[in-house]
Amino acid sequence: MSLLSDLVNLNLSDTTKQIIAEYIWIGGSGMDIRSKARTLPGPVTDPSKLPKWNYDGSSTGQAAGDDSEVILYPQAIFRDPFRRGNNILVMCDAYTPAGNPIPTNKRHNAAKIFSNSKVASEEPWYGIEQEYTLMQKGVNWPIGWPVGGFPGPQGPYYCGVGADKAIGRDIVDAHYKACLYAGISISGVNGEVMPGQWEFQVGPVEGISAGDQVWIARFLLERITEISGVNVSFDPKPVPGDWNGAGAHCNYSTKTMRNTGGLAVIKKAIEKLQVKHKQHIAAYGEGNERRLTGKHETADINTFSWGVANRGASVRVGRDTEKEGKGYFEDRRPASNMDPYVVTSMIAETTILG
C-alpha cells in the first residue's frame, strides 16, 4: 500500500509541465456528481482558456442513446487538494452540441439572473449551511448507530465533543481543510443535532459563485467519504421519527439590505417570498415535506412564517440585524438536497426582480 500511496501522491511538477484537470458536472438526477480527468499541456487559471469536452449523456440520464453526446463548458476553476501541485478541479455545465443548455443544466438560467444589471448592482451575498449525514456503507443507517437500532436521544450531539457524540470528525476535518485548499469560501463546520449528522457553511459568496462553490464542496465531501469507506446522504429526513432532518439554510443579503435602512428592505423581500411560497417550496429540494413538519426546528411546509431569532419559522431575521436596522435574513426552507444554483437565483429573482 505504501507504494500505491507514493504513486498517488507523486509531485508531477518535478518531471513535467503537464497538469491534470478534473472536469466535474451534475448528472441526470440533479444530485449525482460526475467527473472525469484529462491531461493539459500546462497550468490554467482562466476557465475560458480550458477546452470544452464531451461525455456520454445516455449513461447519465441526460441524452438518448442514438444522440448521446453532451458538451461540458468549463465555468470555474479550483485547486485540487487530492493531486495538488498545479492540478485543478473544473466546475462545468452541460450543453447540446448545438450549444443549448440541456434540461438539467440549472446553472445556465441562474447565470442569466445574476447577470441582470439590476441583480448585479445589488451584489447579492449568500451563506449556505449545508447539512449532511454520514452513513454506513452498504447499510442505509448513520455511522455510529447500531444497525437496526438507535443511539441515545438527541441533546448531547449538537457541537458535541467525544467519541460517543462527534461521530466522523476525521472526515469533517479533512473536508474542511480540502475546501480551504481548493479555494472555497468555507466559513465553518459543526456537529448537528442528530448523531452522525454534520454541517459546513459556504459564504459569504456573491452571485453564481455560491452555487459553484457549494457543488465543489459537495464533490470534495463525496470523494473524501469514498476514500473513508462511508457514504454521505443529502436526504432531508434520513431517519424517520424524533430525529432532526437535514437542510441547507440560505442566508441572504443585498447591498441595500446591508446599508442603513436595510431592515425595511428585508421586510419587503420577505413579503415577496411569502407571496411565492409555493413556488419556492416546489424548487427547494425533493422530499422536503418529510422535513418541514413544524417540528425539529422547522416551519410547516404549507405555512409561511417569519420572525426574529425564530428557528421554527420559514424565514429568520437575526437579533443583530434587528438591532442594527440592516444586515441579512435566513431562508430556512431549502432541503439539504437542494440545487444551490436554483435556490440562490430564485431568491434573487423574487426579491430583486419580483
Q: Identify whether residues 281 and 347 lie together within a single domain.
A: yes
Q: Specify whether 81 is located in the same domain as 49.
A: yes
Residues 146 and 80 in one domain: no
Could you list the residue range(s) of the whole structural domain that residue 86 is in?
A: 3-104
284 in a domain, yes or no? Answer: yes
Residue 341 lies in a domain: yes
Take residue 301 and report the three cell numbers written for it: 411546509
- 167 and 286 in one domain? yes
Cα–Cα separations (whole angstroms), residue 163 to 23, 174, 200, 221: 37, 17, 20, 21
Residues 184 and 209 in one domain: yes
* DSSP codes joined into one string, 286-352: TTGGGT-BS-SS--BTT---EEET-TTSSEEE-HHHHHHT---EEE---BTT--HHHHHHHHHIIII
Distance set, CA 91 to CA 19, 35, 146 (Å)? 16, 9, 38
Do 252 and 339 fall within a single domain? yes
Sign for the pseudo-dihedral over CA of 22, 26, 28, 33:
positive
> Looking at the domain assignment, is residue 112 inside a domain?
no
Q: Is residue 24 domain-shared with residue 166, that is, in the same domain? A: no
- Rounded distance, CA 43 to CA 132, Å? 34
**189 with 218, same domain?**
yes
- Enumerate residue ranges in the chain where pLDDT < 70: 1
Find, among 342, 352, 354, 347, the residue nearest to 111 by Cα: 342
Residue 311's pLDDT is what?
86
For residue 135, is it within any domain? Answer: yes
CA angle 242, 156, 294 (to 5 degrees): 30
CATH number at residue 82: 3.10.20.70
Q: Is 110 inside a domain boundary? A: no
Q: What's the confidence (pLDDT) of residue 2?
A: 83
Are 232 and 87 members of one domain?
no
Residue 111 domain flag: no
Q: Is residue 109 part of a domain?
A: no
Task: DSSP for 204-261, please give it.
Answer: EEETHHHHHHHHHHHHHHHHHHHHHTEEEE--S-SS-SSS---BEEEEEE-HHHHSTT
Would you state the pLDDT for residue 1? 58
What CATH number does residue 319 fall under?
3.30.590.10
Select from 78, 104, 130 the last residue of a domain: 104
pTM over 0.95: yes
How do residues 224-274 score in pLDDT, each as one tens digit? 999 999 999 999 999 999 999 999 999 999 999 999 999 999 999 999 999
Q: 123 and 95 in one domain?
A: no
Angle among Cα 44, 86, 187 to the nearest 5 degrees reads 95
State how many domains the chain has: 2
Q: Which residues contact 214 (CB under 8 A, 6 or more apart)?
A: 128, 130, 202, 340
27 and 147: one domain?
no
Does one domain contain both 33 and 136? no
CB burial class (10 A; 0-12, 13-18, 19+) of residue 68?
Answer: middle
